[in-house]
Amino acid sequence: MRIEQILRRSQWTEEDVRWMAEYLRHADQHELETIASILYADDLQNNREPLDIERSSRLLEGIHKRIQPKRSRLKRLRGILPYVAAMFLIAIVTSYFIVVLQLREGPAIADVQPGGNRATLTLGDGRTIDLSEKQDGIIVDNGISYLDGSTVLSEQVNEGIRVGGKQHLTLTTPKGGTYQIKLPDGTVVWLNAASILKYPSRFDGNERVIELEGEAYFDVAIAGAQHVPFKVIAHGQVIEVLGTEFNVSAYADDPETKTTLVEGNVRVKAVGSGGTNLSSSFSYLKPGQQAVTRGSFLDISEVDIFDYTAWRDGMIVLNGARLADVMRQVERWYDVVVDVPVLKTNKTAYVIINRNENLSSVLKALEETYQVKLKLEGRRVGIIE
């Protein structure tokens, strides 16, 4: 099969990657699992160890080296080809694990469904609305509606937002929830699990200011000819931009706050509780750079953007992660509690989790990677000593 041939090559051409992208558009889960079964049988026939997470991670890390686009088109393609290839490999690897876990003998364990579109909207008067799980997001523009144009609020409430004074609104995702919002200026925000976004019903004045706790991806619109700055106030950081794409991870229970720039320019400053300045000036980021604050310290480094934005494409990607790092993500997405003893191992790994998988499949893969035995009882994850 052509897929097998491509996967075994030491380098991938532009044609290979384009073919894989087209295949992914049409392949269903059964087709992917069929390919995975063939690869698994081939491993056994050739006395190779079945593919594990560490092996798949090394394959993923080698993707950038495999891809050889034509030199004249390198600049335009180099940003997208690695991600197309990565998504293809992840789809195959995920299916591979499903097949391996189905074929291996072992007792079934309790299961937890993955997260999905879940969020609540809090109005200026304190009223809270549970948003539809069948919708991807909302639009704030002369009232509030879903992305497909259907109504969220009654016409009377929408009219109050249109003609009344500026309201302070809050979009909240629970553990296991994600949602999208288009703000009044056209900026689009994707909110990750266990996150809170505070924003006004309309922007006016000389700046656009929102507040974030948790994680979100921003595609900031340029606000007319005046180029009104867009400011994100997060836990430990203030980020200012004009028009750009970036990701902010600012969970209160994380020791670090991270801003990763995808496109454009941003400037970042470390702040303390209450917004007190911890640095006298802003630091500027270029695409592919990340600003990390730890207390009053702010560091800037080059990173792989894919690792920090993959959640938007349904993946959790962690590079050099300890089990504690992985379980923090698992807690948020699957809405479970992880018992402290699980966090004791110091082994690190490159981890890829398909956020559409049930928790049982994820835990079994993590057991192989970190050489631990995990148990799931209700909504609690523990370790078998």
Across the range 202-218, mean pLDDT stands at 93
Whether residue 77 has pLDDT greater than 50: no
Mean pLDDT check: name the lowest of 42-56, 191-205, 239-253, 280-294.
42-56
Q: Which residue has the higher pLDDT, 47 or 290?
A: 290
Residues 141-199: tens digit of each pLDDT: 878 999 999 989 877 777 777 766 788 999 999 999 999 999 999 999 999 999 999 99
Label residue 76 by pLDDT band (50, 70, 90): very low
State the helix-helix crossing angle for 359-370 and 323-334, rounded to 10 degrees.
Answer: 180
Q: Which residue has the higher pLDDT, 87 or 308?
A: 308
Q: What proportion of the chain, given as a percentage, has pLDDT over 90?
A: 47
Label residue 242 by pLDDT band (50, 70, 90): confident
Q: How far apart are CA 228 and CA 230, in angstroms?
A: 7
Map out the domains of the chain with their CATH numbers. Answer: 2-103 (no CATH), 116-307 (2.60.120.1440), 314-383 (3.55.50.30)
Q: What is the pLDDT of residue 297?
A: 87
Q: Which residue has the higher pLDDT, 2 or 257?
A: 257
Residues 78-90: tens digit of each pLDDT: 444 554 555 555 5
